[in-house]
């Protein structure tokens, strides 16, 4: 569920690091302007929106969005200067230093149209060896990298028929059994723009996506059918009983070459409890499904579980618990948060690409929680004082995968803290760990702010291995609104 956004025009100059933690500004004299900016950034991270769309072929399946009065067309100027340093790990090479500059311009015309353009440009200050260019070439050496200029493009807003483009971060394709919590920029040298489109026709709701608008990479779709609508006519509340079919194909020809892979999944969902009031609600649903690799009858998997969503003015909670079965190398959520690295080298003792890995047969338990809380009714899951998103899967043969993020906004939202981590293959040799954090502090009435970032990275190499690295950045910024 989303609230209606204000109109906004934004012209900031930014220097963020990985973009994992979102900035929050004290809602004083810039309240309307910054609320619009936060909503623009929230729309670029659709992990919560996918949960709302699950088992809801038509818009009546969710409570109506609240309306807000539109504000005048405001302008924001922002300038942030940051030194960004790449540090080698395990003695591989020398450090490199950059001045990161990001011009940005955005237009927000309510629900109907949004456009946010801008990309970071890293200007070399030291390091890189002989022949290194003034601009870090890995950020712009392929056609796909130019997709990062599109931070957000949206037409249709939260309507059933809509299109948006930008970074995919924490993206799940409806049921989430093929694409779940996926990030198309986990590879730090690959910066594509993805596109997601949704549409509805009678009892049918569909969502399709491509992970790279300018390259041949992930492409998939899921079509959900409202069974009650088909059998008994249009129900008072849509989406109580649905059947969905999804398919995803990786062409493997952008962001580095890898072996193509195709997966498909069939899902059924039934809402067994649904109570919605004016400003709060509770929903409980059960689900089951079966999936596999088309053309490979021995690769298949099954899943069963339940999900719950509870919404109130101060608290949003979305949770899921599933039992999963894997056979013949198939696994649910294969296109997940680690996929852009695993497509080159899977975490674990077998250092082979995911498409070639003989994933052990067995079972797993998967749990996910997405929580947002605030005390002043800011509205919007990602605009809360506290935001937590965590997914964990544990396998019967000893492997554990986990990823999550925490964002907190303190001291009247003058201080924002963000932490994100990923662990793949825990309990085995060759486990993979990544962590990143950011802190922002506003002072002098909120016009000035300081920012610090740091974390670890993995860079795919031409040999198909992953080279470890780290980054750190510090800077100051100033902005104004009129």
Residue 391 lies in a domain: yes
Which run of H or of E encompasses 204? strand 204-210
* Alpha-helical regions (H) of 168-303: 227-232
Within 13 Å and on the Cβ side, how many CA atoms surround 164?
A: 27
Residue 193 lies in a domain: yes
Return d(Cα 218, Cα 145) in angstroms, integer. 15
Return the residue matching tokens 């009858």: 297
Question: Residue 280 has what pLDDT?
Answer: 87
Residue 294 lies in a domain: yes
Return d(Cα 258, Cα 344) in angstroms, integer. 7
Return d(Cα 351, Cα 63) in angstroms, integer. 47
Note down the domain range covering 199.
Answer: 8-481
Return the residue matching tokens 């899967």: 393
Instruction: Report which of 366, 477, 403 is spatially closest to residue 20, judged by C-alpha positions.
Output: 403
Greatest C-alpha distance within the chain: 71
Q: What is the mean pLDDT of each run of 10 residues along the chain (482 residues)?
A: 29 30 32 46 46 42 39 59 86 82 79 84 88 90 95 86 93 95 95 96 96 96 96 90 97 92 97 88 96 91 97 91 95 95 91 87 97 71 78 96 94 90 94 96 87 95 90 86 40
Residue 325 lies in a domain: yes
Question: Residue 131 has what pLDDT?
Answer: 77
Residue 249 lies in a domain: yes
Residue 3 lies in a domain: no
Residue 1 lies in a domain: no
**What pairs with residue 440 in β-bridges?**
416, 451
Contact assessment for residue 384 and residue 351, using Cβ atoms and an 8 Å cutoff: no
How many domains is the chain partitioned into structurally? 1
Question: 3-class DSSP state for residue 465?
Answer: coil
Residue 347 lies in a domain: yes
Contact assessment for residue 402 and residue 427, using Cβ atoms and an 8 Å cutoff: no
Return d(Cα 167, Cα 151) in angstroms, integer. 6
Question: Residue 334 has what pLDDT?
Answer: 94
Contact assessment for residue 243 and residue 267, using Cβ atoms and an 8 Å cutoff: yes
* Alpha-helical regions (H) of 71-159: none
Measure the CA dihedral 438/444/445/449, to 10°.
Answer: -20
Return the residue matching tokens 């990923």: 422
Return the residue matching tokens 């899943």: 303
């Amino acid at each position: 569920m989303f609230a209606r956004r204000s109109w906004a025009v934004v012209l900031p100059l930014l220097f963020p690091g990985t973009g994992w933690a979102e900035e929050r500004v004290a809602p004083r004299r810039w309240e309307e302007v910054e609320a619009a900016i936060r909503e623009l950034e929230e729309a670029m991270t659709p992990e919560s929106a996918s949960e709302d769309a699950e088992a809801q072929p038509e818009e009546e399946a969710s409570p109506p969005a609240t309306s807000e009065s539109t504000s005048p067309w405001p302008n924001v100027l922002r300038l942030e200067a940051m030194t960004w340093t790449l540090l080698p790990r395990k003695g591989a090479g020398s450090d490199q230093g950059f001045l990161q500059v990001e011009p940005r311009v955005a237009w927000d015309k309510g629900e109907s149209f949004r456009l946010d353009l801008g990309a970071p440009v890293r200007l070399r200050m030291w390091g890189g060896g002989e022949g290194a260019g003034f601009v870090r070439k890995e950020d712009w050496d392929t056609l796909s990298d130019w997709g990062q200029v599109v931070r957000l493009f949206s037409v249709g807003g939260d309507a059933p028929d809509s299109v948006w483009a930008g970074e995919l971060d924490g993206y799940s394709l409806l049921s989430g059994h093929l694409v779940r919590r996926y990030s198309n920029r986990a590879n730090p040298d690959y910066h594509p723009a993805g596109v997601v489109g949704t549409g509805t026709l009678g009892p049918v709701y569909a969502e399709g996506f491509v992970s790279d608008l300018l390259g041949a990479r992930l492409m998939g779709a899921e079509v959900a059918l409202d069974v009650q609508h088909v059998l008994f006519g249009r129900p008072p509340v849509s989406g109580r009983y649905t059947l969905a079919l999804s398919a995803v194909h990786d062409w493997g020809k952008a962001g580095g070459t890898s072996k193509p892979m195709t997966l498909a999944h069939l899902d059924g969902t039934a809402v067994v409890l649904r109570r919605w009031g004016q400003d709060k609600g509770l929903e409980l649903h059960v689900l089951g499904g079966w999936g596999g690799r088309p053309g490979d009858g021995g690769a298949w998997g099954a899943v069963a579980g339940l999900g719950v969503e509870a919404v109130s003015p101060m608290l949003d909670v979305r949770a899921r618990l599933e039992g999963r079965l894997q056979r013949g190398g198939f696994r649910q959520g294969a296109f997940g948060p680690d996929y852009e690295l695993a497509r080159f080298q899977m975490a674990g003792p077998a250092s082979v690409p995911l498409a070639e890995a003989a994933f052990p047969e067995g079972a797993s338990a998967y749990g996910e929680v997405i929580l947002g809380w605030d005390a002043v009714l800011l509205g919007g899951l990602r605009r809360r004082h506290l935001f937590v998103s965590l997914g964990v899967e544990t396998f019967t043969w000893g492997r554990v995968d986990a990823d999550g993020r925490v964002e907190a906004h303190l001291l009247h939202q003058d201080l924002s803290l963000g932490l994100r981590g990923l662990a793949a293959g825990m309990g085995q040799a060759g486990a993979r760990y990544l962590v990143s954090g950011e802190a922002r502090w506003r002072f002098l009435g909120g016009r000035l702010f300081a920012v610090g970032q740091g974390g670890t990275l993995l860079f795919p190499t031409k040999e198909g291995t992953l080279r470890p690295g780290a980054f750190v950045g510090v800077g100051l910024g100033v902005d104004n609104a009129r």
